[in-house]
């Protein structure tokens, strides 16, 4: 079993990447040495009004400096509170949580949609095979330039202001990208599209899923998704995204 830690950690850097998009590095030896791409941390607010953890994906891992990067969008009151934290502030976190991506394949496409893009960065760094990166945005891009060292980067925007006009699947088709595996994180409609595309082309896909969470460790059954087969733990067709996921093979789950 992998180790999970619940503790207060120090914020070592804070940046604003775009409107409502923030980047933050935290430092902690134990959490960082256990962390893998595709895993996430639960962040806890200081306000006692907001009890539940905010799950945020690991964007980058710097083992040498025991540091870990989180990139998040202000989506509500909790992330708004966190966006006001500054360097040397402390934040309560739990992690690393979840299974993370399985590093595999000969030729991969990494697909990130919107706020599903951050976890693809550490994956791009650690995945040694040949790879291309496809990033989907509504309009304004972020983090895209940071993927350049790891592979060819293709962009889609809904308004067509950058790259392909449309979604990530449109960009894959337009650029005739080929692969034997797709890794994807993003909104459910995008994941559904990736699953359908992978199915059509007979290739594997690892999808990172999202759901509201309370415990973050598999105990409360808040965060389930539908699975194709009866799950060994639940004995019904439900898998826990926080514990059995967030990354699943596309053919394991119903979306």
Partner 1 sequence: MNTKVNIAGVEWKNPITTASGTFGSGMEYSEFVDLSKLGAVTTKGVAAIPWAGNPTPRIAETSSGMLNAIGLQNPGVDVFLDRDLPFLKQFDTNIIVNVVGKTTEDYCKVVECLADSDVDMLEINISCPNVKEGGIAFGQSCTSVEAITKEIKKYAKQPIIMKLSPNVTDITEMARAAEAGGADALSLINTITGMKIDVHKRAFVLANKTGGLSGPAVKPVAVRMVYQVANAVNIPIIGMGGIMTGEDALEFLMAGATAVAVGTANFINPMATMDILKGIEDYMMKYRMEDIHELIGCVK
Ligand X SMILES: Cc1cc2nc3c(=O)[nH]c(=O)nc-3n(C[C@H](O)[C@H](O)[C@H](O)COP(=O)(O)OP(=O)(O)OC[C@H]3O[C@@H](n4cnc5c(N)ncnc54)[C@H](O)[C@@H]3O)c2cc1C
Ligand Y SMILES: Cc1cc2nc3c(=O)[nH]c(=O)nc-3n(C[C@H](O)[C@H](O)[C@H](O)COP(=O)(O)O)c2cc1C
Residues in contact with ligand Y, total (CB under 6 A)? 2
Q: Is residue 223 near partner 1 by the rule CB under 8 A?
A: yes
Residues in contact with partner 1, total (CB under 8 A)? 33
| 3-state secondary structure string across 57-80 | ECCEEECCCCEEEEEEECCCHHHH
CB closer to ligand X, 70 vs 108: 70
Q: Which does 79 bind (CB under 5 to 8 A by kind): ligand Y, partner 1, ligand X, none?
A: ligand X
Q: Is residue 213 near ligand FES by the rule CB under 6 A?
A: yes
State which H helix or E strand residue 83 sits in.
Answer: helix 77-83
Minimum CB separation of residue 130 from ligand X in Å reads 26
Q: Is residue 171 near ligand FES by the rule CB under 6 A?
A: no
Q: Is residue 220 near ligand Y by the rule CB under 6 A?
A: yes
Q: Which does 103 bind (CB under 5 to 8 A by kind): ligand Y, ligand FES, ligand X, none?
A: none
Dist. CA 235–CA 29, nearest whole Å: 37
Environment class of 62 (CB within 10 Å of its CB; exposed 0-12, middle 13-18, buried 19+): middle
Structure tokens at 238: 């439900």
CB closer to ligand Y, 196 vs 222: 222
Binding site for ligand FES (CB under 6 A): 213-216, 218-223, 240, 242
């Amino acid at each position: 079993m992998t180790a999970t830690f619940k503790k207060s950690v120090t914020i070592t850097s804070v940046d604003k990447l775009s409107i409502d998009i923030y980047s933050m590095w935290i430092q902690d030896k134990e959490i960082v040495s256990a962390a893998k791409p595709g895993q996430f941390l639960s962040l806890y607010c200081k306000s006692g009004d907001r009890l539940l953890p905010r799950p945020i994906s690991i964007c980058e891992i710097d083992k040498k400096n025991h540091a870990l990067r989180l990139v998040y969008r202000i989506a509500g009151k909790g992330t708004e509170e966190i966006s006001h934290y500054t360097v040397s502030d402390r934040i309560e976190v739990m992690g690393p949580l979840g299974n993370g991506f399985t590093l595999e394949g000969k030729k991969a496409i990494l697909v990130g949609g919107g706020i599903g893009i951050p976890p693809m960065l550490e994956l791009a760094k650690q995945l040694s095979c040949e790879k291309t990166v496809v990033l989907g945005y509504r309009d304004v891009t972020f983090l895209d330039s940071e993927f350049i060292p790891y592979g060819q980067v293709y962009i889609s925007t809904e308004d067509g202001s950058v790259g392909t006009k449309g979604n990530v699947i449109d960009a894959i088709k337009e650029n005739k990208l080929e692969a034997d595996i797709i890794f994807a994180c993003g909104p459910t409609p995008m994941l559904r599209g990736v699953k359908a595309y992978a199915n059509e082309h007979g290739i594997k896909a690892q999808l990172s899923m999202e759901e509201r969470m309370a415990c973050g460790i598999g105990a409360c059954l808040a965060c389930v998704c539908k699975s194709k087969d009866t799950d060994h733990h639940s004995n019904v067709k439900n898998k826990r995204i926080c514990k059995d996921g967030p990354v699943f093979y596309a053919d394991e789950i119903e979306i």
